[in-house]
Amino acid sequence: MNTRAVTAVAARRRRVVVAEVIGACLLILVLAQALTAALGLAAFNRLSTATTAERVELLARDTAAKIEGGLRLGKPIAQYFGLAALLDRNFSHLPDLVGATVLLPDGYVLAQTSTALPGAPALAKTFAAPASALQTDSDMSRLRSGAVMMTSTNTFALAVPLHGRQSQLDGVLVLAVDNTDQAAREQAFLHRTVMVLGLTTLAAAIFLIVALGWVVPFDTLTRPGGRARLAVPLIALILAQGVYSADTIASFRSAWLENTRANVTMLVGRMQADIGRVLDMGISIDRLRGVDTLFTRLASTLPAIEHVSLRDSHGRVLVGADARGPRQVAPTAAPMPGEIQDELQISLPVSMASAGGYRIGAGTLDVRLDAAVIAAGVRSRVLDAGTVALISAITAFEMFLLLTLVMARTVRAQARANGTTALLETESNRAENVARVARPLMFGFLFAWALPLSFMPLYARTLPVQLLSLPPDILLALPLSVEMLCGLGGALLAGRLTDRRGWPVPVLGGLVVAACGSLLASSAVNLEWFALARGVVGLGYGLAWMGLQGFVIAGSKPAFRGRNMAWLVAGLFAGHLSGTAVGAMLADQAGYRPVFIASAVVLMLPLIGAFVMARRWKKESAAAAMSAGAVGGAAEGSVRAAAVVSPVSGTVTRAGSASGSAAGITPKLGLSARAKRLGALIGSRDFGALLAGSVVPFSIAQVGLLYFALPLYLEAQGVAASSIGRVLMLYGLCMIYLGPMIGRVVDRTRTKKYFIALGGLLGGTGMAYLYVDSSLFAVSMAVFLLALGSCWSGAAQTTWTLALPNVQQYGAGAATSVMRAADKLGQMIGPLFVGTLFTLVGIGPGLAMTGMVYLVATMLFVLVASRQPGEGGAGVSKR
């Protein structure tokens, strides 16, 4: 072949390589941007619904207070004459009013405005039924205040209870408003999102094409270890996500402030109309009496109001009041009616009828918003938008890690074409790359599995119970408990399968079983069916999770096991965080059942990846076995069994003998023999001390604090649900980003035992401190310390354990599965243990006592467990 032809072939190969890299980068960029947009739109929709609910509830509660005033005087609601006139008088000024209705608890209509509300009886009946009977998969949902709201395409309805002298329910007030404005705001936000998203994605795409196609040299792009091919797409992704996130934060802030001003203006507008009617009777504005009492009640109704004042036509302040009572309002320049001097000032004109039938200005009604409340609200909205951006960034980063694998494939292909296989093999055989291959699979698996986690108890509450007669709280927890129990069994089974058949069997089987379980959960007709379906999912979870862990352990040198496990756990928590957020968004838009179907479909992606990786592992194992067999034949003249380590997984296999026997495979043991070996392992000094002093106590503290106690504890202190979610995210973020770094430190240190103790010391101390401080900061610090302790102990546990002689004799995969089973056992005990302490000593002391138990167990581990022989980077026991 002449020089020109060779040059043409090389140029064509370069174009193909560059096109592959740019195409992969663009695909990841578009997926990450689309996820950001979807999460942002869902969060904005929730914000719009919350502000609409606040406005309608303020109106409904104000009217309900007037009705309840008559009921407390002894007037039966069935004989409450004038209800229709009261409804017309209180709601006639609302331009978006659809209708208002007063009903009995059984749904019988007592009075209503001119327009009937078809859904009002159903809303009224929800108050008479138990809270657990509310069908949360419908359009109705119960607010924390006790009100029930129902949304449809064009209408928003809200019901509040009516109580008289006694605590029993006397009636229900239902108010419905036109929801078109909210739909218009959401549509405007969608258009803005699409525009900003399109511009940022286009700019990032142009940057990628120019940088990778012309700026970055081709040799740098394809050289093993080259950073340019990773830095360029990462910079483009960060810039695109950053610009869009900044715009989303500004939109959230503006929307919340606008809605808050609208709510205040609506309430003040009712007072404005009342004052105007009094002035029409001929009373001068400076002779009004009792206005300060009205102002105080108004300011106490809405915390966003700092004070209210009334001015005459000359700008003089006549009266002012805040939530505590009358107050002096400093005279300032009188604003023009309707003028917005700043974001915290609202001024409405007060007018009276003239002799000619016209209305003339008599003064202004001024409202000053509380700067502290507004600032807190703005911070909350910024945090909401920032949370969306953070979840999107986590998912984008995991996609970027997948992109690095695609690029590595291109690098290998180019290296083979250039004949630089020595450098290629040096890079591809690095033991820490095993976790980089497994992490995307773990992320995809946990992303799909976590999709329904945010609403599982709510979905369980909507299902009828056929056979079981248990307390309601236990019934709601039943699906999760069954799933954990089956996950324990799956973990034990996966350990044996990994040691005997290799990691592909439990991973592929677990993913298929989990997908089947999700499909069964989507078709559940009762709670028992749903619990069994989640048990199937748990079995698949235990198999796949332990199989992937076995893949990493078998393919990692002892010096890299800590950091590799930290990488794998980081992918687990990244998938958990992202999947939970996306699942909540899908449930809001499509309902509960479609999310289970989506979970089964998404599980096909890691299944495909695991299948491709398993085929490669099989080929490399077979090639290595043939090579070993050939060497043995040349040396000895016959084919003998030879140990082979796969360059992908590191799993030890055996080259078959001439007869095809599976030499080297551990012979099968009977059930009693296996039980004796398991009992000996658990009863051994070091391994037993690890389970009893670290693994089980940590799981009790983790699940007891994060998934059981924390929501109840913070809700009792009035902390918003969004803040509770962000505190829970703190744990995952530490595991994702601090875990791999701590894993490197642990791997480079000889003594692993004391890192396990350090984890218990940090986690137990953080929880014990809650006995003296129960603030949100203290709870957040306890979660952070528990996560930090988990990073230290988790990175050290695997290496420390696998260096034990009895563990090496039992089998690495099987022993690791026993550890994970103990972990699941602690997760099952955790809620029961913490719940019992709550009953005996209360929430705060109960959490503190849980931390003390964790500390004591850690100290016992330090005292009982021996200093492991051969601790260090190599992880090999010294005799």
Q: What is the pLDDT of residues 829-850, one digit of tens each?
A: 776 777 777 777 877 788 888 8
Residue 83 sits at φ, ψ, to 5 deg, of: -65, -40
The rounded mean pLDDT for the chain is 76
Q: Taking the C-alpha atoms of 630, 631, 633 and 636 in order, what is their torsion angle to the nearest 10 degrees?
A: 180
Residue 70 pLDDT class (50, 70, 90 cuts): confident
pLDDT at 157 over 60: yes
Residue 458 sits at φ, ψ, to 5 deg, of: -65, -40
Q: Which residues contact 714 (CB under 8 A, 6 or more apart)?
A: 723, 724, 727, 776, 779
735-763 average pLDDT score? 85
744-755 average pLDDT score? 82
**Other residues' Cβ atoms within 10 Å of the Cβ of residue 544:** 30
pLDDT at 655 over 60: no
156-167 average pLDDT score? 83
The candidate with the shortest Cα–Cα distance to 102, out of 91, 93, 113, 115, is: 113
pLDDT of residue 660: 35
pLDDT at 421 over 60: no
pLDDT of residue 55: 81
pLDDT at 800 over 80: yes
- 872 versus 308: the higher-pLDDT residue is 308
pLDDT of residue 762: 92
The candidate with the shortest Cα–Cα distance to 565, out of 826, 704, 394, 746, is: 746
Give the strand order in the sheet containing 169-178: 109-112, 97-103, 169-178, 155-163, 148-151, 140-142
- 876 versus 397: the higher-pLDDT residue is 397
Rounded to 10 deg, the angle between the 593-602 and 504-522 helix axes is 160
> Do 470 and 506 form a contact (C-beta atoms < 8 A)?
no
In the chain, what are the domain boundaries? 268-376, 456-495+503-568+604-633+646-656, 674-865
Please report where in the chains the tokens 């560059």 appear, as a residue: 18
Q: Tell me which amino acid residue 870 is.
A: G
Question: pLDDT per residue over 127-143, tens digit each?
Answer: 866 544 444 445 677 77
CA distance 742 to 788: 9
Residue 159 is inside which H or E element, if any? strand 155-163
What DSSP string runs through 570-608? HHHHHHHHHHHHHHHHHHHHH-SHHHHHHHHHHTHHHHH
Same fold, 268-376 and 674-865: no
Residue 782 sits at φ, ψ, to 5 deg, of: -65, -40
- With a pLDDT cut of 90, the percent of the chain lying above it is 6
CATH code: domain 674-865 is 1.20.1250.20
CATH code: domain 268-376 is 3.30.450
- 559 versus 530: the higher-pLDDT residue is 530
Across 163-172, 341-350, 532-541, the highest mean pLDDT is recorded for 532-541
Question: pLDDT per residue over 617-644, tens digit each?
Answer: 777 667 666 655 554 554 444 333 333 3
In the chain the first and final C-alpha atoms are separated, in Å, by 62
Residue 697 sits at φ, ψ, to 5 deg, of: -60, -40
- 155 versus 435: the higher-pLDDT residue is 155
DSSP state of 465: -
pLDDT of residue 227: 61
- 861 versus 844: the higher-pLDDT residue is 861
User: Hey, CA dihedral for 872, 689, 736, 435, is it positive or negative?
Assistant: positive
- With a pLDDT cut of 70, the percent of the chain lying above it is 79
Question: pLDDT per residue over 443-490, tens digit each?
Answer: 889 989 988 877 777 688 778 888 877 766 667 767 877 888 888 888
**Other residues' Cβ atoms within 10 Å of the Cβ of residue 809:** 11
Q: Tell me which amino acid residue 615 is.
A: R
CA distance 362 to 366: 13
Question: pLDDT per residue over 806-819, tens digit each?
Answer: 888 887 767 877 88
709-732 average pLDDT score? 69
357-367 average pLDDT score? 78
3-state secondary structure of 74: coil
Q: Tell me which amino acid residue 768 is.
A: A
Across 252-261, 295-304, 532-541, the highest mean pLDDT is recorded for 532-541
> Do 48 and 187 form a contact (C-beta atoms < 8 A)?
no
* pTM above threshold 0.85: no
pLDDT of residue 5: 67
